[in-house]
Amino acid sequence: LLCLSPLSPAFSKGKKALNQGIVVLGLNRSHAKNALNKNLLKMMSKAVDALKSDKKVRTVIFRSEVPGIFCAGADLKERAKMHSSEVSSFVSKARATVNEMANLPVPTIAAIDGTALGGGLELALACDIRVAASSAKMGLVETKLAIIPGAGGTQRLPRTIGVSLAKELIFSARIVDGEEAKSIGLISHVVEQNEAGDAAYRRALALAREFLPQGPVAMRVAKLAINQGMEVDLVTGLAIEEACYAQTIPTKDRIEGLLAFKEKRPPRYKGE
C-alpha cells in the first residue's frame, strides 16, 4: 500500500551522492486508485512519524506508484459501510495525518502524475511544492457528494490560490488539468507527460536535488519561519524570522559555509 524508501541511485552509481537525503513516499493501492482507507492512513501516519525524527532526511517526495493515478480521495466503498460516528472519526484521522505531512520539518514535494481528487489533492496541498503532468486531473469534488473537503482543503486551497477562486472551485467541484492548475497557482511546475508516466516525479526529483547542497539546519528553520510567519501579521512574522535566524548562528555549518566561500570550494555541511 505504501512504499517508503531512501532514493537509491537508480540511474547510475555516480548519482548516489546526488540523491542522498531524498526520501520517496509512494502510494501503491492500485486496485482502489490509491483511495484513502483506514489502513492506508495508518501506514501514512506511521511513515511520516518516522521521517519527522530522521535527521538524515533532507527532502521528501510524495508520489504514486500507480500509473495515471495520484490519489482518488477517500475510499467511498469503505465509507458507505461506516456509521456516521465512524465517518467523523475517520475524517479527523485523515485531517491529522495530512497535518503531520504539512508539519514535516524538511521540504516536501508532491509529484502529481495522474488524478488527484478530494483527499488526494488535500495530500498534495499539504506539501511545500506541487509538480504535475499537464495531463493530470485535480479537484476538490466533495460538494458533489453533499459533503465538504475535510482534510484541510477548505483552508489550504484559499491560502494557495486565493479565497474567491478557491470558493469557485469548491462550489463547482470543478476538475482542472495541469496547465490550468499552473495558471491559477495551484501547482508550481507543469510538465508534459512522458512514455513512462513519471514526468512529474522526475521534475520533483530535479527540484529535490537543487535543495540538497544547502545547509540542513538552515533549510529546516527557513521552512519553519515561512510556515509560521504566513499565519501572523508582518511584525510578528519578522520576530519569528529573527528567532529562526538565531538558531543558525551557533551551528558548525555556518562556519563551514564561510570557510568554503573563503577557500572557493563547495561546502561540506553536516547538519550541525
Per-residue confidence (pLDDT) for residue 14, from 0 to 100: 34
Per-residue confidence (pLDDT) for residue 2, from 0 to 100: 57
241 is an active site residue: no
Catalytic residue among 122, 126, 199, 204: 122
Task: Please tell me the least confidently modeled range out of 11-20, 158-167, 246-255, 263-272.
Answer: 11-20
* Separation between Cα atoms, residue 255 and residue 243, nearest integer Å: 19
142 is an active site residue: yes
Centre a 10 Å sphere on the Cβ of residue 52 and count the other Cβ atoms it contains: 15
Beta-strand pair 59-64/108-112? parallel
* Separation between Cα atoms, residue 215 and residue 203, nearest integer Å: 22
pLDDT band at 11; cut points 50, 70, 90: very low
Beta-strand pair 69-71/22-27? unpaired
Catalytic residue among 35, 47, 72, 74: 74
Catalytic residue among 142, 166, 178, 225: 142
pLDDT band at 240; cut points 50, 70, 90: very high
Mean pLDDT of all residues in 238-247: 97
Mean pLDDT of all residues in 53-76: 92
Average pLDDT of the residues of the chain: 91
Mean pLDDT of all residues in 66-71: 93
Per-residue confidence (pLDDT) for residue 13, from 0 to 100: 30
Per-residue confidence (pLDDT) for residue 85, from 0 to 100: 84
122 is an active site residue: yes
C-alpha cell at position 270: 553536516
74 is an active site residue: yes
Q: At what angle do helices 163-172 and 153-161 cross, to 10 degrees?
A: 130
In tens, the pLDDT along 78-128 reads 888 888 888 988 999 999 999 999 999 999 999 999 999 999 999 999 999
Per-residue confidence (pLDDT) for residue 76, from 0 to 100: 85
Centre a 10 Å sphere on the Cβ of residue 233 and count the other Cβ atoms it contains: 8
Per-residue confidence (pLDDT) for residue 65, from 0 to 100: 92
Per-residue confidence (pLDDT) for residue 6, from 0 to 100: 53
Per-residue confidence (pLDDT) for residue 142, from 0 to 100: 95
How would DSSP label each residue in 19-30? HTTEEEEEE--G
Per-residue confidence (pLDDT) for residue 80, from 0 to 100: 87
In tens, the pLDDT along 14-59 reads 344 457 899 999 999 988 999 988 889 999 999 999 999 898 999 9
% pLDDT > 70, the chain: 93
Per-residue confidence (pLDDT) for residue 77, from 0 to 100: 87
Name the residue with higher pLDDT: 103 or 12. Answer: 103
pLDDT at 10 over 60: no
Q: Is there a contact between 146 and 127 (Cβ–Cβ < 8 Å)?
A: no
* Separation between Cα atoms, residue 158 and residue 172, nearest integer Å: 15
Mean pLDDT of all residues in 144-155: 95
Catalytic residue among 21, 26, 118, 119: 119
pLDDT at 206 over 90: yes
For residue 171, give the H/E element and its range: helix 163-172
What percent of the chain is helix, strand and coil (3-state, nearest 5)? 50, 15, 35
Mean pLDDT of all residues in 143-151: 95
Q: Is there a contact between 132 and 200 (Cβ–Cβ < 8 Å)?
A: yes
